[in-house]
Structure 1
């Protein structure tokens, strides 16, 4: 465990966790975006997941200059979901969030999310819109989060969120077997027990680049996504909706024919699948082309 353990009577309102594994390129900027928040009552828990680049020095500097920063040093690389669990095990705030070492919080983010949960005591999770940028920082567009009722159709919770500590406790944290979709799985499980509220304000900046986990492991992530979504499908779901969700999962796979998903979609609602034959044909061509190129 690192330094800057605060007095136990001075519990922060928010605990923000940032797992770091060889993230030096944008790490200082990511940390500063948290420390420069308009809302000040938080702790930042940096989890060094056995980094071998300049990340440890950058994190040590943050610890030295701000007493709200805590450091957990892991000697063995455990991966993102396990690193998150290490961080939240040390969290003392009544509200939880986490961010990546390549993304940025806009200055009002924490304040607006805290205020929204305060205004909605019946809700346990708030999530907000965010901007996508490329490797050079150029804007690619804004992502508008969707209603939790559409969560089975895709991870519309997004990258900007805050939730009550009881959500972490009830769900037992993040599933370490689901590296790459641990967040989507967390939201699918949370949606079964907790209330969400969407805030349509642009409060976060998500960086898309070739080294990101989603870029490196796209096909594996698509397979895991299908697994967790199928597991979360309620028995009471209408046949048309079940078919639409399963076929959508199949069509997202660009390097593998997911005929198992297509068959299950057809069994659920053959009429719907028949209407999607043009999309299935285009998908087959894309998969064939990608497999040949590989």
Structure 2
């Protein structure tokens, strides 16, 4: 069976919640209880939590089943075989009943008032389709180790400024057709880039989420692939940009950003778009090229790439 849908069977299950939250999980038992608990503890309670078990082989199914028995707002969808994160998100949102959509990860924590504040933001700004907010970064033990202030969506070409705490209208999901399964690793950035072409964002200057960072969560090989996909979606978006100065600034920003990929073609395109800007960025370009040259010649780096 490709997909199994389990409604928890508790009488009186919510038929049409205001918010649908998708929680995709693949072997995420370590932090799953805390992640689910943070959603169930929201001050805004009119939601469904759609947990998509994406082919887990650890204790994830048992944890999900236990929570579903205890709370009728939880649905469980099981993918066999697993579809990957963007595919799991699409499966979850295909089952969503709410007029507002969000998703969270199995190792992150939503602050208790996250949904309340994001719903209020969209209710107050009827012309906006997406609300997003700042977040803190935590380590594996849950200790706060950083803070991320999100930027306005107008700066999204320069990087993913939307962050991890967000809520958007169901019409966004319908118009964009969900998440691109070919862009696993940058599916969220791709989604926001496409959304920014058609929808208005509202930014909350509030810390509403705890994003957990894992040491060694990506191999060098996987991280390099993600860096290259970012460059791919940026090139695509720049096809919609007529302003040559903006194109050059975006190309230089991304061209110089990666410590894994020299992005020489991107830098060359930036130079052609604005030689004057290239002259001003010459010191940064020189440092970037020197770093990648040394890295390429390092025996240790070469071995890491082969075995990553």
Please tell me the TM-score bracket, short chain as reference.
Answer: over 0.9
User: Partners of 1:10 and 1:214 in 2: how far apart?
Assistant: 42
1:11 pairs with 2:16: yes
User: Which shows bigger deviation, 7-16 or 65-74?
Assistant: 7-16
1:265 pairs with 2:264: no
User: Partners of 1:287 and 1:135 in 2: how far apart?
Assistant: 31
Q: CA deviation at 1:253?
A: 2.0
TM-score between the two structures when normalised by the length of structure 2: 0.91
1:183 pairs with 2:178: no
Number of the residue aligned with 1:138: 143
Change (3 A) 1:235 1:70: closer
1:77 pairs with 2:82: yes
Q: CA deviation at 1:8?
A: 8.5
Number of the residue aligned with 1:94: 99
User: Partners of 2:122 and 2:220 in 1: how far apart?
Assistant: 33
Change (3 A) 1:289 1:29: farther
Number of the residue aligned with 1:49: 54
Count how many residue pairs are aligned between Structure 1 and Structure 2.
294
Matches within 5 A, 1:27-38: 27-38=32-43
C-alpha contact (below 8 Å) 1:114/1:162 kept by paired residues: yes
Q: CA RMSD in A?
A: 1.8
User: Partners of 2:293 and 2:20 in 1: how far apart?
Assistant: 46
C-alpha contact (below 8 Å) 2:14/2:73 kept by paired residues: no
Change (3 A) 1:218 1:199: same
Change (3 A) 1:61 1:156: same
C-alpha contact (below 8 Å) 1:180/1:213 kept by paired residues: no
Number of the residue aligned with 1:196: 201
Picking from 147, 152, 156, the partner of 1:147 is 152
1:46-70 superposed Cα distances (whole Å, 9 cap, x missing partner): 0000011111111111111110000
Number of the residue aligned with 1:62: 67
1:128 pairs with 2:133: yes
Number of the residue aligned with 2:213: 208
Change (3 A) 1:159 1:195: same
SS in structure 1 opposite 2:181? coil
Number of the residue aligned with 1:229: 234
C-alpha contact (below 8 Å) 1:180/1:214 kept by paired residues: no
Q: CA deviation at 1:217?
A: 2.6
User: Partners of 1:207 and 1:99 in 2: how far apart?
Assistant: 11
| Structure 1 gap ranges (5+) | none
User: Partners of 1:109 and 1:30 in 2: how far apart?
Assistant: 13
User: Which shows bigger deviation, 153-162 or 239-248?
Assistant: 239-248
